[in-house]
Structure 1
Amino acid sequence: MRQAWIQSKEALRLRMTQPQQVAPGEPEAEMPPYMESFLAHLRVLVGVPFEYLVPDARLLPDESIRFFYLDRSFADRVVDGAIAVGKIGTREQAHHQAHEPAVRQQLDITERIVRSIQMRLGSFADLKSANDANRLTNGAADVITGFLLRSAAVSGWPQMDVRAHSTDLPEHLDPSSAAAQNAQLRTLRLERLSPSVMIALFQGIPALVTIEEPHHGVQFGVRPVFAGFQIDERKADGEQILVGSDSKPLFAPVRAANQRVLSIASLRRALFKAQNADSTMPQQTGGASLAVEVLNPPWRQRFEGTVDHAGDGGGRQSSGFLSSLSVAVRVSQPETRVALEAAIQNGAKP
């Protein structure tokens, strides 16, 4: 008869070489909530030292943005490293090998609520329950993309709105419209790593990323150009009047004694002249009409996929981020109506 320790040793050997012998079980029933939350945060790089993400400062110079794919293997190894703290022998190693696939599959789902946890939108149990009810039927992990931004804009506008969309959208489309909402990707993480560095992670591959000044209020202003200042002519509802795909500018006159001070009376006369020449512009009704014309909504910067010529000899139209993708950058202002609605939602008053 074989001694008990020999049988135990043989059982451990079989568990190490054939981990499928151990029933995987339900990870929800085996992982404590605090552990599942901690590992899910690691999956989206929360707590990972910055030098592991950017090993050389020259990879992310000042006033630059870098788009990337998140290597799922790298994220899995980070989780493995955290779990390895509790693996003190062959028994724990065998247990980990048997349950690792189920744990990884569960973390693929739980990582989607990390940002909601950080924003304190609910308890972990409530957020996890709602997320599990809406999880994908195949349980497959999504591709995760993102960007690192180092800029003075991060510290100057800490509450910038960042959105990613799976399809390219028209420049003047309302972000709250159904078309924009349906194409918007889930933001897994949006966080400042330092006063001037921001990281963003998205669930899926975006074709368009927009970064927009925060809608803290409504302000008036003009746009400086080489020859002075100008405003964009608008309709009565605040929508810009376009000439092709560009706005229709109107030069704003300044005082002769001070080139930095607008001449409001001359500006009013210029607007009245433009209104008579263009029936789509609102007729003068006092200060309200002038206010609509000189509203200065927050600026929006668009990052769009462009033609990628890597490896194919002729170039192709990309549908998202590629390893050697060049990104077209375009800065625009959203419609006045959109800015007003966003400001009202944020509790601002004109």
Structure 2
Amino acid sequence: MSLSETLGVAQARAALEHELFLASPDGETVATDSVLEFLARLRMLEGVPFNTLVPDADFLPVESIRFFYLDRAWTDALVQGALSVGTANSLERAQLEKLYPKIEEEIDEAERRVRSPGSEPTLTGTAGVVTGFLMRSAAVAGWPGMHIRAYDTEPADHDEEVLPESNSDRIKLLRLERLAPSVILALFDGIPNVLHIEEPRQGLQFGVRLEEQSSGRWRAFVPARDVRTAGYVDDAGAPVVPDEDDPTAPSTLAAQIPVRFRRGAAGVLDLSNTARAFADADGTGMTAPIPGEDFGEDIDGAEFAMQMLRFPYRQVFAQSTTTPQFQDAAFVPNVAVVADFENILRQRLEED
């Protein structure tokens, strides 16, 4: 039998087996669950060497984030290469070629089951565009449990709202993994318009805000609150009422109360002077004893804690018209970034 005849028989057999499989009522998959899980993880870049993802350290410098689209043609070729290991002759290769569209559908389903967030429903259907980012930062090492959420539309009700992944405005997270102590990889099932990267929330948190001065030194402060209402107040002591047309957070409109630190002890608060600054601010509802006069009351711990409350820091990347204050065009191709990559490649070629 000639080679062409052999291939013809192999293709006919593969086509027959494929039709029998599709007609089977038992609903079994072509590939086993373990194989599907392996291929789904492979398509989400698990097991792919890091130097293949980032061929040069200058592509991902320290304290940087790089957004990208996942090339489906590249990942499909990766999966096909893995499957080809199990074929030993032309008959098996022809059978694999015939069954691959069905296997690809099964992998589409399996990749969405790799990361199942609690009881959230699993998406079905053909997999769409996959996007993601790589971030290299001390923040990854400092806050290993940081929250990463992607949205099609910014949550509109209030700043603290967190939509479940089943919400139509939420973009599902396919993979989130630390590849190194300071490097994290995230993959999304779609193209986010808004991305939140936020410090983990761990009960009550306290902190100050830092602002660099023209002299190069840093100034620490907290936004003023009225301890009787917990609301922010401005420089005149009046409650801050944000304009519906102005997306600026109320805390940025509040008066700034300076926070004092002890001399010669970096990072250690000077509680007495800081408490007096709280009491001196208008509208806080706090008073402090005046030396030599019988006036004012000691500031208690609850009042001090109220002023020091700080919500977890949130970095927003957006390319949505609903978030005009945040416009980073994260997933929009950038000519400048491409030019930087080309320059790095050119330098490496010249070095070689």
| AA in 2 matched with 1:114 | V
The structure with the largest helix share of the pair is 1
Alpha carbons of 1:14 and 1:157: their partners in 2 closer, same or farther (altered >3 Å)? same
In structure 2, which of residues 4, 8, 13 is the aligned counterpart of residue 13 of structure 1?
8
C-alpha distance in structure 1 between counterparts of 2:72 and 2:174, whole Å: 14
Query: Taking every aligned residue pair, what percent have the same amino acid on both sides?
Result: 36
Using a 3 Å threshold, how does the CA distance of structure 1 residues 37 and 171 change in structure 2: closer, same or farther?
same
Tell me the TM-score normalised to structure 1 length. 0.71
1:212, CA displacement in angstroms?
Answer: 1.4
1:185 shift after superposition: 1.3
Corresponding residue to 1:143 among 121, 129, 132: 129
2:304 aligns with one of 277, 285, 290: 290
Q: After the TM superposition, which of the residue ranges 247-256 and 201-210 deviates more from structure 2?
A: 247-256
Show the 5 A alignment for 1:45-124. 45-116=45-116
Separation in 2 of the partners of 1:97 and 1:37? 20
Cα distance between partner residues in 2 of 1:80 and 1:289: 63
Give the Cα–Cα distance (whole angstroms) in 1 for the partners of residues 277 and 112 of structure 2: 53
1:319-338 matches, within 5 Å, as 321-324=331-334
The count of residues paired between Structure 1 and Structure 2 equals 295
Which position in structure 2 is the counterpart of 1:340?
A: none
Indicate if the aligned counterparts of 1:16 and 1:93 stay in contact, CA closer than 8 A. no
**Equivalent residue, structure 1, for 2:314:** 300
Q: Is the 2:318–2:328 Cα contact (8 Å) retained in structure 1?
A: no
1:186-335 equivalences under 5 Å are 186-225=172-211, 226=213, 228-234=219-225, 238=230, 240=232, 245=248, 246-254=252-260, 262-274=269-281, 277-278=282-283, 286-305=300-319, 321-324=331-334
When residues 34 and 105 of structure 1 are mapped into structure 2, their CA distance, relative to the original with a 3 A threshold, is same
Query: How high is the TM-score relative to the length of structure 2?
Result: 0.70
How many Å apart are 1:182 and its aligned residue? 4.6
Gaps of 5+ in 1: 122-126, 308-316, 328-350
Counterpart residue type for residue 323 of structure 1: P
Q: What RMSD in Å do the two structures reach over aligned CA positions?
A: 3.8
Distance, in Å, in 2 between the alignment partners of 1:214 and 1:249 is 27
- Once the two structures are TM-superposed, the CA of residue 56 in structure 1 deviates from its matched residue by 2.1
Deviation for aligned residue 1:45: 0.7
Alpha-carbon distance in structure 1 between the residues aligned to 2:37 and 2:151? 27
Contact 1:166 1:184 in 2 (8 A): yes
Q: Are 1:147 and 1:200, in contact at CA under 8 Å, matched by a contact in 2?
A: yes
- Aligned match of 1:313: none
d(CA) in 2 for partners of 1:177, 1:240: 26
Opposite residue 70 of structure 2, the aligned amino acid is L
3-state SS in 2 of match to 1:204: coil
Q: Which runs of 5+ in 2 are unaligned?
A: 234-239, 288-298, 322-326, 338-352
* Greater strand fraction, Structure 1 or Structure 2: 1
Cα offset, 1:259, TM superposition: 8.4
